[in-house]
Structure 1
Amino acid sequence: MGNEKTPRPPTLDDLKAVIKSLNAKNVDYLLIGGFAVNAQGLNRTTNDIDFLIKQNKEDGKRIVDALLVLPDKASKDIDLSWFDKGASDDSTIRVYDEIIVDLLFNACGQSYESLKKHEKIIYLDDVPVKTLDIEGLMLTKISYREQDKLDLQALKFKLEEDIKNKRTNK
């Protein structure tokens, strides 16, 4: 949706700009996907920014407004009815701007509400980012996709290392 040119991979600066805008509009979101995996100290390339969001028009309006921070303003083409509870909760709203932003209502059977208890705030410079702890992120990776399988394996290893380090530091 939006422009006809090929989007480029997002940078950390892109992520910070989008997050700042979401935070300024008081959007309820959880950063998932490749950038969330990276936030756990792992190294993974990604071609988009993924957010798990609530499924309602009020949040949808704030998200659309927040994503106007992107250069091509592609979010203006989003139909707010896509955020209705009656819409498919397996839907992904893909915003094709200079970068791609994916808005998900469901990640591997998990909703914003079911993962809220796993919320973790991290900081990218001075920007607070709402993402997931390792356990929550692992729940979003139980899928058939090869990249998700690789992420899940790396996250399991990281969790085991963290547990081992906690034991040795006691």
Structure 2
Amino acid sequence: MNLKELLVTVHEALQSANIEHALIGAFAMACYGIQRATGDIDFLIDEEDKNKAIEVLGKIGFTVFYQSDEVLQLQGPGNIDFLIARRPLSREMLKEAKPFPSLNIKSVSLEDIIGLKIQAYRNNPKREFRDKADIISIIETNYKLNWDKIKQYADIFNAWEEISQLRNKTYE
């Protein structure tokens, strides 16, 4: 199963179980026209739906590879990663996610993607170059970003100076 088929299959399974979900990561970026190679599909779901997602996707061949309070990784016909919305900010991301007509699947905003990228590389420094490259790609292709919202995310992780420098270098 290719990634697009996998995306549709997982989306339909989640939708049939009334599990609110939104794309994050490379597929979310692709919704906005920013291409990056990936080997998995990343979603945001509410923590209340975590066990239901395991059950529903288990019926179509997925098994739990790893889980914590924050993350759920499934393997099967493909690799699916879920970020678990547990806090008001991530729940707000999920609530505000917008559907994209080409896929009819919701995606978080570009500002939210940047916030998640900051969180990812702050929590795992090995991701820094890849995540900052993604942030630069987003900045380069989107001049109407809500920088106040991005600053809120960056301030959580004490990263505004870095993000501001990336912004300034990109717009030079």
**Alignment TM-score, normalising by the size of structure 1:** 0.68
- The residue number in structure 1 matching 2:50 is 60
Change (3 A) 1:111 1:64: farther
User: Which residues of structure 1 form unaligned runs of 5+?
Assistant: 1-7, 83-87, 164-170
1:27 maps to which of 13, 19, 26 = 19
- The residue number in structure 2 matching 1:123 is 101
RMSD (Å), alpha carbons: 3.0
Distance in 1 separating the partners of 2:98 and 2:57: 22
Per-residue CA distance 1:48-78 (angstroms, 9 max, x = gap): 111111112xx123312331364xx233x58
Distance in 2 separating the partners of 1:63 and 1:17: 13
Change (3 A) 1:111 1:50: farther
1:99-118 matches, cutoff 5 A: 99-105=78-84, 112-116=90-94, 118=96
Instruction: Give the conservation status (yes or no) of the 8 Å contact 2:3–2:40.
Output: no
Superposition deviation, residue 158 in structure 1: 1.9
User: Which residues of structure 2 form unaligned runs of 5+?
Assistant: 147-172
- The residue number in structure 1 matching 2:162 is none
- The residue number in structure 1 matching 2:167 is none
- The residue number in structure 1 matching 2:111 is 135
Instruction: Give the conservation status (yes or no) of the 8 Å contact 1:49–1:102.
Output: yes
Distance in 1 separating the partners of 2:113 and 2:138: 8
Superposition deviation, residue 22 in structure 1: 0.9
For 2:98, what is the secondary structure of its paired residue?
Answer: strand
Distance in 1 separating the partners of 2:25 and 2:141: 16
Per-residue CA distance 1:67-115 (angstroms, 9 max, x = gap): 1364xx233x589xx6xxxxx54x32211212111111269x9853131
Distance in 2 separating the partners of 1:116 and 1:93: 16
Distance in 2 separating the partners of 1:99 and 1:35: 14
Instruction: Give the conservation status (yes or no) of the 8 Å contact 1:118–1:136.
Output: no
Superposition deviation, residue 117 in structure 1: 5.1
Structure 1 runs of 4+ with >4 Å offset: none
**Alignment TM-score, normalising by the size of structure 2:** 0.67
**Residue identity (%):** 24
- The residue number in structure 2 matching 1:157 is 140
Distance in 2 separating the partners of 1:114 and 1:43: 25
Per-residue CA distance 1:136-167 (angstroms, 9 max, x = gap): 2221111241221111111112221789xxxx
Q: Which has the higher helix share?
A: 2
Change (3 A) 1:21 1:123: farther
The count of corresponding residues between Structure 1 and Structure 2 is 139
